[in-house]
Amino acid sequence: MKTFAPLLLLVLLGGLAFYYTQADTKTNALSNPEEDWVMHVDDIESIHRVFIADRNGGTADIVKDGKKWIYNNKYTANPNVVSNLLQAIKSIRLKNRPPEASIPRMYEALSTKSTKVEVYGKNNNLLKAFYIGGVTPDERGTFMILEGSENPYVMHIPMNEVSLKHRFFTGDKKWRDKTVIELQPSDIASLSVEYPKRKNKSFKLKRDKRKWSIEPFFPTTKKLEKPVNQDLAEAYLKGFKKIGAEAIHFPNEQSQKTLNAQEFCILKMILTDGTTQQINFFPILKFASEDAETPLPVERYYAVNEKGDIFLTQQVVFKEIFWAYEFFF
């Protein structure tokens, strides 16, 4: 394998130079050159950061923050995707050492189609760094090479035939958490639900010591002189514990028309810590035919939060949030 060292040097210094975009001080991840096929990290609890970079300039920087993981220093990362990533890092194993004749093809794949992965522990201590290239003809093995090594290998996850490259990717749509609301009832001091086109259904719900009080959102709505059913109020607020979107949405020409139209619902929550969260729901209208004037029942909404993030949400999931004033009595 040493025969190909000059070629590999050109690959690593030239074709892979684009990866080094961050200025972190790193220790050598290759502790034993005789075991340069060992690319896994057994203890995933020791992992505090994973940095991924592809050849298109995309990056995914996943950093542990308490019980959550932060993506690209801005968004909460999707916990399921993070779990799959960590399990992949733990499970990577050697499938086979390639014959010498196949090594030039592996070098080529690593230089043109590779993804760089860096795995860090506490204090930004580098645990592993490797490159992931193409796949074997049967797609059951993935070309990989450990940083600092001259020897590429065919790696895999035992009992799993999916290419390793599918576990290490970039892009907001896949990495960002799709949770829209995640609050405990005790987090909420008050909230309002405004239906611009159904004003008499709109309401304000407020914590009054250990109880909840409710009143119409608009002064033109007649106030119901009845006691609030506290069990119903508590049941309603339990629906805020965790509710997610179908997908992260990025506006296009077609969706921008919907986002410029009238909201179906404006949900505003004032929390006990003094912060405010707001979500505006825009109905996605569909018609049975081009000539139809009345839209079909709404199945999806664009939900825009106070940060400007846009989510594609489903009526079947969020219907428990869309209560009316009279439901609480």
Q: How far apart are the first and last CA of the chain?
A: 78
Residues 6+ apart with CB under 8 A from 281: 263, 264, 265, 266, 267, 301, 302, 303, 313, 318
Share of the chain above pLDDT 70, in %: 90
pLDDT value, residue 20: 39
DSSP notation for 174-197: HHB--EEE---GGGEEEEEEE-TT
User: If we measure between CA atoms, which residue out of 35, 56, 179 comes closest to residue 114?
Assistant: 56
Strands 49-53 and 203-208: unpaired
- Which pair of structure tokens corresponds to residue 187? 């987090």
pLDDT value, residue 166: 87
At 306-329, the pLDDT tens digits run: 999 999 999 999 999 999 999 999
Residues 6+ apart with CB under 8 A from 101: none
Would you say the pTM of this structure is higher than 0.85? no
What φ, ψ does residue 289 adopt, rounded to 5°? -155, 170
Please give the Cα distance from 224 to 135 (Å, whole number): 67
pLDDT value, residue 6: 43
- Which pair of structure tokens corresponds to residue 59? 């990056």
Strands 243-244 and 247-248: unpaired
At 170-226, the pLDDT tens digits run: 999 899 999 999 999 999 999 999 999 999 999 999 998 889 999 999 999 999 999
pLDDT value, residue 101: 82
Q: Reduce the DSSP state of residue 9 to 3 states and report it.
A: helix
Residues 6+ apart with CB under 8 A from 291: none
Residues in the chain: 329
CB 107 within 8 A of CB 137: no
Number of helices (H), then strands (E), belonging to the chain: the values are 7, 19
User: If we measure between CA atoms, which residue out of 237, 244, 266, 236 comes closest to residue 181?
Assistant: 244
Segment 257-260 long-range contacts (CB within 8 Å, at least 24 positions apart): 258/282, 258/283, 258/284, 258/285, 258/302, 259/302, 259/304, 259/310
At 65-110, the pLDDT tens digits run: 999 999 999 999 999 999 999 999 999 999 998 888 888 888 887 8
CA torsion through residues 289, 294, 300, 301, sign: positive
Q: Reduce the DSSP state of residue 35 to 3 states and report it.
A: helix
Please give the Cα distance from 10 to 5 (Å, whole number): 9
Give Cα separations from 88 to 8, 112, 155, 156 (angstroms): 26, 23, 11, 9
Mean pLDDT value of segment 293-309:
95
Residues 6+ apart with CB under 8 A from 201: 195, 324, 325, 326
Please give the Cα distance from 70 to 49 (Å, whole number): 9
